[in-house]
Amino acid sequence: MACPPWLDKDFLYTLNYGPSESDPSFKERLESVLDLVHGEPEQRERITLLDRSVAERLHKAIFGERYKGARFLTDWSEGPKWLILVGDKNSVTPFDYDPHASETQLFLRVEAFITTETLDPYFLRSALCDPRPSIVPIALDVVDLICYLASLPTQQPPSHKSKTIDQYLSDFIQDRELRSVVKPISNLVRTYQVQPEAVGRDKVVLRYLADMLKSATLLPDDSHWEVLGRRFPGPDLLLGASPSTPSSSLTQIFLDDFTADFICSGPFRLIAADDIRHHLRLTEKNEIQLFLNSAEFLSMYNCHSLKRCMIECHELTLGTCASTILPEK
């Protein structure tokens, strides 16, 4: 597919690095960009809006573990050896996203977040920076945030209680300057952090960072507050907070009660869920939800930088109570 004619190099440069322009045609182009990022994935997979060197840094930050070589080439001599053939007519060049790579959907989501936060005047981001910001500073803040969270130690002593996302993001703001937030607001947030009575009065930057994290980990339909309250490291980020049950309940589970015929012989029903966080959770209508596409969904995280942090801590926590588990009935 050819690149849209309005997406020329000058426009792309301004989009990436600013400054904003009041030219009416520029605004029209911005609307076209929003249509593009929310449009068909097939079209989107052909176009990288981010500066390719920044896109490469972002990709490396999110998928560092599996990252090999250059994914976002800035120069390319056309030749068959560089092409991934898809069918007879379509091909994926080194300038396109690979639609077959499991992480492509996640990365596109990050880029869509960055672009939308930048361009959509109704989004949270517009309150943090005036005039209209460009997309590279946000991308670099995402890189910093992911690198910071990925660097957190996952091996903690059993007595250590993991922090919430809210607390980690607060620490993150304390340590560094955000490129995509104007200084007065950044400084204001730091002031709030050292005044406990003022905490909660203004968490706009924390919510903004929570949205960044949501996009970088592909957590759909979550409110900022829900993400901010989750414990990290651990699987809470991906699967939502675990149901709170007394520890005695954990030791008295009779698996024979979970067969479909037994469940359906009573008042509960089985239904399919489209969100992994709803797996084995009950609705208000007494429906047990089952997430059936787990393998496909989780394949996106196989090479994610935060994969290690999403799971290891939980294993430690459960390891401490494993010795108290009674035998199954």
Q: Are 211 and 117 in contact (CB under 8 A)?
A: yes
End-to-end CA distance of the chain: 60
Site membership for another protein, residue 292 (CB under 8 A): yes
Residue 289 forms beta bridges with which residues?
271
Q: How far is the CB of 83 from another protein (least distance, A)?
A: 31
Residue 281 as a binder of another protein (CB under 8 A): the answer is: yes
CA angle, residues 182, 174, 107, in degrees to nearest 5 = 70
Least CB distance to another protein at residue 40 (A): 19
Which residues, 6+ apart, have CB-to-CB distance to 182 below 8 Å? 128, 129, 130
* Contact between 245 and another protein per CB under 8 A: yes
Q: In whole angstroms, what is the distance from residue 125 CA to residue 118 CA?
A: 7
CA–CA separation, 132 vs 149, rounded Å?
28
Assess 3 for contact with another protein (CB under 8 A). no
**Residue 266 interacting with another protein (CB under 8 A):** yes
Q: How far is the CB of 118 from another protein (least distance, A)?
A: 31
Among 100, 183, 322, 323, binds another protein (CB under 8 A): 322
Q: Tell me the closest approach of the beta carbon of residue 309 to another protein, in angstroms.
A: 12
Q: Does 163 bind another protein (CB under 8 A)?
A: no
Residue type, 111: E
Minimum Å gap between C-beta 294 and another protein is 4
Residue 62 is a binding residue for another protein (CB under 8 A): no
Residue 145 CB, nearest approach to another protein (Å): 21
Q: Which of these ranges, 14-22, 164-172, 203-211, 241-249, lies near another protein under the rule CB under 8 A?
A: 241-249
Closer to another protein by Cβ: residue 80 or 246: 246
In three-state secondary structure terms, 51 is coil
Q: How many whole angstroms separate alpha carbon 12 and alpha carbon 16? A: 6
Q: Which stretch binds another protein (CB under 8 A): 50-58, 100-108, 173-181, 282-290?
A: 282-290
Amino acid identity, position 98: D
> Is-contact 37 122, C-beta < 8 A?
no
- Check residue 155 for interaction with another protein (CB under 8 A): no
C-alpha separations of 163 from 172, 190, 229, 274 in Å: 13, 19, 9, 29
Structure tokens at 20: 């904003």
Which residues lie near another protein (CB under 8 A)? 235, 238-239, 242-245, 249-250, 252-268, 270, 272, 276, 279-282, 286, 288, 290-295, 298, 301-302, 307, 310-312, 314-315, 318, 322, 325, 327-328
